[in-house]
Structure formats: C-alpha cells, structure tokens
Structure 1
Amino acid sequence: MRRNDIGSARSQRSWRVMLTGAAALIVSLAGFASPAGAHVTVTPSTTAAGAHAVLQFSVGHGCGNSPTTRITIRIPAQITAVTPTRTALWKVAKQTETVDPPAVDSHGNTVVQRVASVTFSTETPLPDGYREVFELAVQLPEASGTKLVFPTVQTCEQGESAWIEVPQDGRNVEELELPAPGFTISGPAEGTHHHVTTGTTATPAPGRADTLTLAALAAGVLGSVLGGAALVRQRRRT
C-alpha cells in the first residue's frame, strides 16, 4: 500500500471515530435534556413569592393521535389576578367567579371577582406531534412553600385528556398517568421588583444551565467533526 493511501485510510478511521463519539454524546445529551413530552406542563418565569410571573403551559401532543381543539386551564384559588396572552390561531375566554370572602391584593384593593379558568380554543386544530405554548400572566401568592396546581383539560377532535391528577398519600407525580401541571412557590427575591416586562426571562435553574452547557459542548464537538470531515475530503481531492 502506498504512503498516501495509508495516510488516507488513517484519516478516514480517525474521522469515523470522532463522528461516532460526537453522535453518541449528542444522543445521550438529547435524552438527558429533553422534557417529558408526554405531559402538559407549566413553566413559570419565576417562582418567587409575591412576584408577577408569566406561566407557559406547553402542549406537545394530541389525545392519542387526535388534534387538539381546546385547552381549559383551571386557576388555583390562591391566584386572584390573571391576564392571558392572545395568540394568532386561538380564541381566549375567561370564566370568572365570586371571591367569598373578598380578598385584598398586594396593592390594597379588595377583590370580589377572580378568573377561575381560561380556555383557549381554535378552528385550526393543533396536529398531534406539534407543540403549542399558552401564556398566563399572574401574581403569585406571598407565602413561600405554597403548592399551586392548574388542572387542565385538553379537548381534541376525538376524545379528551384531563390533566387533573394530584399525588395523594405520598405518591410521586411521576407515578401519575395524567398529572396536573403545577409548581411550588419559593422564597421572595431580594432586591428585585415584582413586575414582569416584555422580554423578561427567568434565570435557568442550575440543572438546566448544566444541560445547556453540555448541549453547547456537543454542538461544538459536532461542528469540529464536520469541519474535520470537510478538511479530509479537501485533502483527498488535492
């Protein structure tokens, strides 16, 4: 075998090893970073007690294979102020109820009516396998440790999924088939104002930040691999 052929064979083997390693790393990271796509979930911009937050409710599947036509989100009694975000393809309806006894908000106003649920409906159904995000701006309760649960009913062209289950008797939420979206209020943020402005984003949790760092590392490895592959092909042509 000629020297050039030996060098080319070694380059090809090195390239295959690098590509295989990068692919394995990316696959493992994808499995680590991907959220539980089988559930309807809620992601708050902040969980700080008393803060104004934007809640993102994510729907990434239909009822079985049936497209989604309506999402109804029940608001827990601890929340008295809700502002839904309008979206292009979805109509928004708020259902109110009387607050008895009346509550007093953080500004000293007496609250006698509150939004009990919000319904998003559409004439352009969301196909199974496509993701949609519904946003609600709310003021969170003042008491840290409060658990907020948002029972959500997903209606489809055929059937519905009631995401309303709450862990009982020490059960873990992962054991539930149709868990209700929810989260727990944390301690108040120090030195910050409890207001949400356009473009405000939450600081990622440590675990999420680590995941993003690993994902960026994987992307860099893949970029290096692709660059190396191009260099190998260029050398073979010359």
Structure 2
Amino acid sequence: MNARRWTRTVGAAAAATVAYLALGAAPAAAHVEIAEAQPNGDGTTTLTFSFDHSCDNSPTTELVVALPDGVTATTTATPNRWSAAVADDRVTFTGPGLETAQVGLTTRIIARAGDTLHFPVLQRCADGGSYDWIDITADSEHPAPRLIATNAVLANPPDPTTAPTPAAAAGAAQQQGGGATLGQALAVLAAFVLAAAAAGFGLARRV
C-alpha cells in the first residue's frame, strides 16, 4: 500500500471513529438509536433516529421520544404517511406499520461539551406489543438512544473570544486598594517584606 493510499485509509478510519464516539458508541444490538446528529449552523441540530427491529413479526407503528433536560424540539421529519406531534418534552411519531425506518427531529441543545444525553424511546407495534428503550447503560438489553454533546451540536457553544486576555486580567487586578495600580501594590508589598527582613536581621544580631 503506497503512502498516499495509507493516509486516506487512516483518515477515513479516524473520521468514522469520531462520528462513532459522538453518538455515544451505541452498540449494534440497540434497535432504536441516534443514527446521525447534523448541526445546521443556526444553533440547531437535526437528530435522526432509526429503528431496524419491530415486535416479533409485527411492524412498528409509533415511536415516542422523551427529550432530556436542556433539549427542545423545533421541527420534525417523518417517513411517508407518518406524522409527528411535539408536546413539552415528548415527541410522538405515528403511522402505518414499518419494519425499518428513520425519523428526524430538529433540536436546540443546551448542555456542556462531553455531556451524555439520553433520549428514552417507547416503540409500539401493530399487534399491541412494545419495547421500552430506556436503560442508560450502553450495554444493557434495552439501552436508550444516546448522544455525547460536542461544541458542534450545542446551541450555546463557548465563545473563545469572550475568554479574558492576560491584559484584561491584569487590568482587573489593578482595581484594588482604592485605585492603586498593580505595580504600586507590589511595590508596597516588597517594601514590607524588606522591612520585616531587616527587623529580623537586627534582632538576630542583638541576640
């Protein structure tokens, strides 16, 4: 394998790994999961939920997605002939039975980078059966879909331009001691230290 081809291969593998980690490293056994988190550039992120398993031989007719704290829904996307309703922290997708499908949810996510967000889902099927995908442990039997928050998906990413600069920090430090500057304060402190040292030296000589 030549160097250029090897670089492309490693780069593709690294990108896949980053995407995998951002979605919380969802195990293959999870039948309802977040398949994609797409930032839209306006503070919203579209989450795509997928399911590839129904209740035995009965197709899925409804998904109820619970939104974690800090996440609000704005718009939805559904398969053909399905509909969606948003009510507070619940989004309900319903329609004719499907064995596999994807539904979309545009969200605003207020969290910290690195937070793990869980989206419990109730999956209902045509025969009345259901699955509760609610466990927060990734390797459990029915794990909830999860997303590890990154700055890219957040509605409130930290603004690096607002971090205090060294000059600004020094200016704030100068506002001490009735308007005395930092240099003046340090000069007073140095004089005090020198005086104390001289006094100690004189005492030692007398002893």
- Counterpart for residue 93 of structure 2: 120
Q: Find the partner of 1:184 among 142, 148, 157.
A: 148
1: distance between equivalents of 2:114 and 2:30? 27
The question of 1:160 aligning with 2:153 is answered no
Structure 2 counterpart of 1:138: 107
1:118 partner SS = strand
Shift of 1:91: 1.7
TM-score (norm 2): 0.54
Mapped to 2, the partners of 1:67 and 1:86 lie a distance apart of 16
Would you say 1:40 and 2:28 are equivalent positions? no
Q: Is the counterpart of residue 82 in structure 1 residue 70 in structure 2?
A: no
Please tell me the residue identity of whatever aligns with 2:135.
Answer: E
Aligned partners of 2:97 and 2:47: how far apart in 1? 22
* Corresponding letter in the other structure for 1:180: A
Q: TM-score, normalised by structure 1?
A: 0.48
| 1:6-45 matched pairs, under 5 angstroms | 36=28, 38-42=30-34, 43-45=36-38
Q: What is the match of residue 5 of structure 1?
A: none
Question: If you compute each CA radius of gyration, which structure gives the higher value, 1 or 2?
Answer: 2
Higher RCO (C-alpha 8 Å, min separation 6): 1
Corresponding residue for residue 60 of structure 2:
68
Residues 78-133 of structure 1 show CA distances to partners (whole Å, capped at 9, x for unaligned) of 1134321244220211112xxxxxxxxxxxxxxxxxxx1111111x2113xxx200
How far has the Cα of 1:36 moved from its partner? 1.9
Partner of 1:102: none
Deviation at 1:65, TM superposition (A): 2.1
Aligned residues: 128
| Other structure's SS at 1:45 match | strand
Q: 1:47–1:140: 8 Å Cα contact kept in structure 2?
A: no
Q: What are the superposed Cα offsets for residues 156-195 of structure 1, whole Å, 9 maximum, x if unpaired?
A: 123101001112xxxxx12x00000011112358xxxx9x
Q: Secondary structure at the match of 1:41?
A: strand
Counterpart Cα distance in 1 of 2:148 and 2:51: 21
CA distance, structure 1, for counterparts of residue 59 and residue 38 of structure 2 = 28
The answer to whether the 8 A contact 1:146-1:184 is kept is yes
Sequence identity (%): 31
CA shift for structure 1 position 41: 0.7
- Partners of 1:187 and 1:68 lie apart in 2 by 34
Does the 8 A contact of 1:47 with 1:184 survive in 2?
no
What does 1:84-123 align with in structure 2 at a 5 Å threshold?
84-96=76-88, 116-122=89-95
Distance change >3 Å, CA 187–CA 68, structure 1 → 2: same
Instruction: Report the secondary structure of 2:53's partner residue.
Output: coil
2:119 maps to 150
Structure 2 residues not aligned, in runs of 5+: 1-26, 158-207
